[in-house]
Amino acid sequence: MKHKKVKSFDAVEFFRAIKEKLAAKMAGMTLEQQKDFMRLVRAKKIKIA
């Protein structure tokens, strides 16, 4: 029987949480607004917390 290793950081869980936060913030935005929002996030002018 294999034992599961306890992870201190789970990448899948982390990125799913980020995806959900982004989806909540972008709900109701037009495509152009979403593009502008993502540009600001990538430029680190908006922080996703």
3-state secondary structure the chain: CCCCCCCCCCHHHHHHHHHHHHHHHHCCCCHHHHHHHHHHHHCCCCCCC
Written as six digits, the tokens of 19 are 């995806």
Amino acid at 7: K
Predicted pLDDT of residue 21 = 95
Predicted pLDDT of residue 23 = 95
d(CA 40, CA 47): 9
pLDDT tens for the 49 residues of the chain, in order: 678 788 788 999 999 999 999 999 999 999 999 999 999 999 999 998 7
Predicted pLDDT of residue 30 = 97
- Would you say 48 and 41 are in contact if contact means Cβ atoms under 8 Å apart? yes
